[in-house]
């Protein structure tokens, strides 16, 4: 099946054509430059930009794949969660194509779609542990089999990616915060500042509101002002360590408790190179962490097409 995937849940307009495990064509338009002056996504601006770009990207993807609309066998689209206006743009387009072309449509969960980036990654068969980490989500799954999960850990307040954005803003670093803080953290001490690492009653859960507050108080009340680039970098590095540590610790504990020998880490924060190093350093020999390619960590339509294709095949 040639499946057209559409992703418009936040600030990336993404289109992909997937056939099996092959990404035939993929187009992504990022709105980072549009939202950077606000240090976060402005929902109305995001939905307007999706309206401007989506149909153009669909046509570009078809042209790159060398096919026409009539060659598409099905369409998959992100239905939830996300920004309502942005989701509506993608859903309206997908439903219209499904009706006009008389092809099946599958509306998918954005968080589960991140897990389906495994289709383009060589993973052992389930059971395993899935960690989805992004600007809006920090969620830990026990993957019994694909399509059958148990949510065992979640964020109590803010998602890890959001905390990177907010702390980057406090430090005067550019949006989005993840790449900015990762870049600033390279080659400096991670333990100059002892920021708190979340410890909750449920050892699989996450919390980031306290960490953001600790950084704010350190800058505003203890330091009064950041004295130079070195101190800024050490603040960034110390924050990054405190933010990434529970992701690694909780995931490994879940793998041990559920007798799983692999962890699949996906979502935008999975692109962080220090996180990948920490999983390599901390994972015991019998547990291996897997990551999608960096391009497939951020929001993309290939994972949406893969997720939709899985369910369409199952329902056939």
CATH number for position 285: 3.30.420.40
Whether residue 183 is contained in a domain is answered as yes
Q: Which residue ranges of the chain lie beneath pLDDT 70?
A: none
Query: From CA 301, how far away is CA 78, in angstroms rounded?
Result: 9
- Does 170 lie in the same domain as 86? no
Helices (H), ranges, the chain: 32-35, 43-65, 84-101, 110-115, 160-171, 177-185, 209-217, 229-257, 273-282, 301-315
* pLDDT attached to residue 270: 98
Q: Say what the pLDDT of residue 316 is.
A: 83
Whether residues 148 and 221 share a domain: the answer is yes
Helix (H) and strand (E) counts for the chain? 10, 10
Number of independent structural domains in the chain: 2
Report yes or no on whether pTM surpasses 0.85: yes
Q: How far apart are CA 161 and CA 173, in angstroms?
A: 15
The 8-class DSSP code of residue 196 comes to P
Same domain, 156 and 273: yes
The tens digit of pLDDT for each residue in 194-248 reads 999 988 989 999 999 999 999 999 999 999 999 999 999 999 999 999 999 999 9
CB 300 within 8 A of CB 28: yes
What mean pLDDT is reported for the chain? 97
Q: Do residues 217 and 166 make contact, with C-beta atoms less than 8 angstroms apart?
A: no
């Amino acid at each position: 099946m040639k499946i057209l995937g559409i992703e418009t849940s936040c600030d990336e307009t993404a289109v992909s054509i997937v056939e099996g495990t092959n990404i035939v064509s993929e187009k992504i338009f990022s709105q980072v430059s549009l939202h950077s002056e606000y240090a976060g996504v402005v929902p109305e601006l995001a939905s307007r930009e999706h309206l401007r770009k989506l149909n153009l990207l669909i046509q570009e993807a078809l042209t790159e794949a060398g096919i026409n609309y009539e060659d598409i066998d099905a369409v998959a689209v992100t239905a939830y969660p996300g920004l309502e206006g942005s989701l509506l743009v993608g859903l309206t387009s997908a439903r219209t194509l499904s009706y006009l072309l008389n092809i099946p449509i599958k509306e998918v969960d954005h968080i589960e779609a991140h897990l389906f980036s495994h289709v383009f990654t060589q993973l052992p068969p389930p059971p395993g542990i899935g960690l989805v980490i992004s600007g809006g989500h920090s969620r830990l799954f026990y993957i019994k089999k694909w399509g059958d999960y148990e949510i065992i850990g979640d964020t109590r307040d803010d998602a890890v990616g959001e905390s990177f954005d907010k702390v980057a803003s406090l430090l005067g670093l550019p949006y989005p915060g993840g790449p900015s803080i990762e870049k600033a953290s390279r080659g400096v001490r991670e333990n100059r500042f002892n920021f708190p690492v979340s410890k909750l009653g449920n050892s699989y859960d996450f919390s980031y509101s306290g960490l953001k507050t600790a950084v704010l108080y350190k800058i505003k009340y203890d330091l009064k002002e950041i004295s130079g680039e070195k101190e800024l970098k050490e603040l960034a590095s110390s924050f990054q360590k405190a933010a990434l540590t529970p992701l690694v610790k909780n995931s490994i504990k879940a793998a041990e408790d559920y007798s799983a020998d692999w962890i699949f880490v996906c979502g935008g924060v999975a692109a962080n190179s220090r996180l990948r190093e920490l999983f390599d350093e901390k994972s015991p020999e019998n547990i291996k962490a897997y990551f999608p390619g960096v391009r497939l960590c951020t929001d993309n339509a290939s994972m949406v097409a893969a997720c939709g294709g899985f369910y369409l095949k199952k329902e056939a």
